[in-house]
Chains A and B, each alone.
With several copies, the nearest count.
Chain A
């Protein structure tokens, strides 16, 4: 282990309480100023089945779940059977030997069996094995008992002193048993002296919304977007955010549009299926020129698909959502922390340009967790609500107010309902500058053309405000890896591994998808020797889009669509195979059976 980099896998069935040891470990790491990345592979089942949580920590930022496991904590036989074969020399496997039998492990894998019966003979319930294992694990990675004691005390505070004592006792037993019987890792868990926080992408999106000043949030539950709703429901009251669970996603987006028109910053989140239902109304927001933000947290499709698995499969859906051409902004945040930052940025844009904004997250980002330096969570963000008139009682304009006044920017100042003197009607039918319909009596092809052009002109203004993508890594690279959205971390890590293997690569990650900085991308890629596009879907949705906008055709593609995210070596292997000319399209096989 050159630099300190520890990955722990905890596996078992749904309902076996994997989340708690995961949370405790995460807390211990971030409180020591260690970086963290956590990814939970789970299934659409409430009890049973199989869950596998990977927690990885390091002194350096942790960009992905990584390629290897140092510790395996199987909570049932199934998990042991699935994962033992992934462990290699130097790794340790911690398990309750009363119930779980290891198979044959690779050489150098330390099999650390403990007996729950022996260590906690009087305690009922299955959760005790988790606590013992946690104690033992901390001992193995050279952590004093105290941090665990602290966190357990907080964790069980509500359940009273007896429960705390019991859990501390059990954890201690595991800790002590490990001291006596297991070989610790050749390091002690570092403490950088910093203090980090950690959060999942959905929390980051919700907090970003709060920072942006969202006052109305509504949703219909849908994995993997429900976390945003849960955060909002939990914190809405204290923050003055109205949170509503609606009858369906059509109701959601329309309600958000109503709230937005009345003057609130309004947001909603869903996954692909719910987004499909919203698509008609997104066009209506553009037509009425109402700013609204909708998050699509992608999961493996099509249709219901694999609800608890990740994919980047909705790009063409969001680009094509709704009939006709209309201005829209589509952005795919690149990290969990970027989720937080993107929301206020996007709100300023949609408010300025009075059009819908779509955030493309995915399960990997939204349910993944990462450490964050609290100083990066700046809630004091710039807020630009665009041109709203009449707010300060500045009285009606000399002429009758024209809600959709033609303008070079495509933007017309809006007035909120309730404002004296600016009466108008917004409409989803084509309309004139004053809002009067031009789809019936006053139909007029020239006016229609002018209004359509006015709306679409906004796209230029938006583009001019978006930060162009930048190349990362050496300029003279053999190969450029291009990704979009959530894959930034894993591609960066693949870059490092490629460098170790003597392959000089650089990296371009696209965050702002629509409108696209085509020229900037073209000029970057024109410098590049060989382009490989990495995406988490079957058909190369971004590759096709990139070609449509820039003509760029990549030399190779690394694609994955089995529901699981990329691990760094998948990309590395793909790049090698493509560079070796073995294939143009490389589809890795996911080795971890989850």
Chain B
């Protein structure tokens, strides 16, 4: 139950192996179809940042697996030239965990919406963070349910008027940043689709990080959320780097995360590298390579031993 606050780098975190293959550009990561998002949707910014990050990390399309749920934002895997799974609403993180553990050589990137991840997907979110599964989770947080044409999400501000709350929501929203820190995520950041350059760095940092990284991204919905628009954020976001924030400072991370008003911090709130990721801790993966590549079946000796104990 204890979460010691040590800050030592754990060993053997080789992050980027040397890449073979041709050097790629953003175009190489373009998916089979163009996004069908509304013109001006914040999600375009995230898509651009993600492709840029993949290029800069010198990853090959087949080395990457994007996993999403259902929602406008969850359509993203279709727009990236990489392996992808467009799963059920709320289940992306669970599916991604299975895929990551089955083939821990893949870079598994989970993308989706605030409703998908923090609403219906909340339980997987919680437990995946505490397990520190090596996933990079990009939440396109537009504080609304976009695809279902505008209802409150768990991050909608109190008082927000939507189709499901025509007189204003009476519920307190969650704040994903402190929640993720308390739940045990080891890389917790917030981005804004209006700040693509920083976003690229945050995503690269998340993919490099061994363990669970959450990047909650303000990705305004131009169609259903008038309260939290591109302009709203543009006028308010402030980079943590510029605020002198130390992402290894636990209290500072939490305090900064609660700031909301004229200055809304974006950047890396919290990072710890002393906790190994789940695949690193799992003895079955210690040797033999990805499970998915191992031969099937049981050796005759092992079979014999299994039967022996039944006799």
Q: Which of the listed residues A211, A213, A240 has the most CB atoms from chain B within 10 Å of its own CB? A: A240
Asked if B106 is at the interface (CB within 8 A of a chain A CB), the reply is yes
**CA of A36 to CA of B135 in the docked complex: distance in angstroms?**
49
Residues of A with C-beta under 8 A to B85: 258, 261, 288, 425-427
* Cross-chain contact B61 with A255 (CB below 8 angstroms): no
* Cross-chain contact A281 with B164 (CB below 8 angstroms): no
Q: Which of the listed residues B72, B124, B282, B306 has the most CB atoms from chain A within 10 Å of its own CB? A: B306
Asked if A383 is at the interface (CB within 8 A of a chain B CB), the reply is yes
Asked if B149 is at the interface (CB within 8 A of a chain A CB), the reply is yes
Q: Which of the listed residues B32, B123, B291 has the most CB atoms from chain A within 10 Å of its own CB? A: B291
Residues of B with C-beta under 8 A to A261: 85, 95, 98-99
* Cross-chain contact B148 with A259 (CB below 8 angstroms): no
**CA of A251 to CA of B130 in the docked complex: distance in angstroms?**
14
* Cross-chain contact A258 with B94 (CB below 8 angstroms): yes
Residues of A with C-beta under 8 A to B126: 247
Sort A-B residue pairs by CB-CB distance and give the 7 closest, nearest first: A213-B296, A258-B98, A263-B292, A425-B84, A262-B102, A197-B310, A379-B303
Partner of A383, one of B87, B145, B292, B296: B296
Asked if A250 is at the interface (CB within 8 A of a chain B CB), the reply is yes
Can you list 27 A-B contacts (CB < 8 A)? Answer: A46-B146, A46-B223, A48-B36, A198-B311, A215-B102, A215-B291, A220-B119, A234-B166, A236-B284, A243-B284, A245-B151, A247-B124, A247-B126, A259-B98, A259-B292, A261-B98, A262-B100, A280-B88, A284-B91, A303-B88, A304-B88, A374-B311, A377-B303, A417-B83, A417-B106, A423-B81, A434-B32
Asked if B293 is at the interface (CB within 8 A of a chain A CB), the reply is yes
Interface positions, chain B 143-159, Cβ under 8 Å from A, are: 145-149, 151-152, 154
**CA of A221 to CA of B152 in the docked complex: distance in angstroms?**
10
Partner of A246, one of B83, B89, B94, B165: B94
**CA of A207 to CA of B308 in the docked complex: distance in angstroms?**
13
Asked if B19 is at the interface (CB within 8 A of a chain A CB), the reply is no
CB distance from A538 to the nearest CB of B (A): 21
Residues of A with C-beta under 8 A to B122: 247-248
From known contacts A247-B123, A257-B95, A425-B77, infer whether A379 and B88 are also in contact, taking CB-CB under 8 Å. no
Which chain B residue has the least Cβ–Cβ distance from A440? B36
Asked if A421 is at the interface (CB within 8 A of a chain B CB), the reply is yes
Which chain A residue has the least Cβ–Cβ distance from B76? A425
Asked if A218 is at the interface (CB within 8 A of a chain B CB), the reply is yes
* Cross-chain contact B102 with A423 (CB below 8 angstroms): no
* Cross-chain contact A49 with B98 (CB below 8 angstroms): no
* Cross-chain contact A273 with B65 (CB below 8 angstroms): no
Q: Which of A80-88, A222-230, A541-549, A576-584 contacts B (4 or more CB under 8 A)?
A: A222-230
Q: How many residues of B contact A (CB 8 A)?
A: 84
* Cross-chain contact A240 with B291 (CB below 8 angstroms): yes
* Cross-chain contact B78 with A436 (CB below 8 angstroms): yes
Asked if B264 is at the interface (CB within 8 A of a chain A CB), the reply is no
From known contacts A195-B311, A380-B300, infer whether A223 and B62 are also in contact, taking CB-CB under 8 Å. no
* Cross-chain contact B145 with A221 (CB below 8 angstroms): yes
* Cross-chain contact A254 with B163 (CB below 8 angstroms): no
Partner of A247, one of B39, B63, B120, B163: B120
Q: Which of the listed residues A49, A247, A428 has the most CB atoms from chain B within 10 Å of its own CB? A: A247
From known contacts A49-B36, A284-B88, A436-B32, infer whether A255 and B72 are also in contact, taking CB-CB under 8 Å. no
Interface flags for A298-333 (1: CB within 8 Å of B; 0: not) read 000001100000000000000000000000000000
* Cross-chain contact B32 with A264 (CB below 8 angstroms): no
Asked if B7 is at the interface (CB within 8 A of a chain A CB), the reply is no
Asked if A239 is at the interface (CB within 8 A of a chain B CB), the reply is yes
CB distance from A469 to the nearest CB of B (A): 29
Interface positions, chain A 189-247, Cβ under 8 Å from B, are: 195-199, 203, 207, 210-213, 215-216, 218-223, 226, 229-230, 233-247
Asked if A55 is at the interface (CB within 8 A of a chain B CB), the reply is no
Asked if A45 is at the interface (CB within 8 A of a chain B CB), the reply is yes
Asked if A15 is at the interface (CB within 8 A of a chain B CB), the reply is yes
* Cross-chain contact B164 with A221 (CB below 8 angstroms): yes
Residues of B with C-beta under 8 A to A280: 88
**CA of A379 to CA of B300 in the docked complex: distance in angstroms?**
8
Residues of A with C-beta under 8 A to B300: 379-380
**CA of A417 to CA of B72 in the docked complex: distance in angstroms?**
24
Which chain A residue has the least Cβ–Cβ distance from B282? A242
Interface flags for B294-306 (1: CB within 8 Å of A; 0: not) read 1111101011001
CB distance from B70 to the nearest CB of A (A): 6
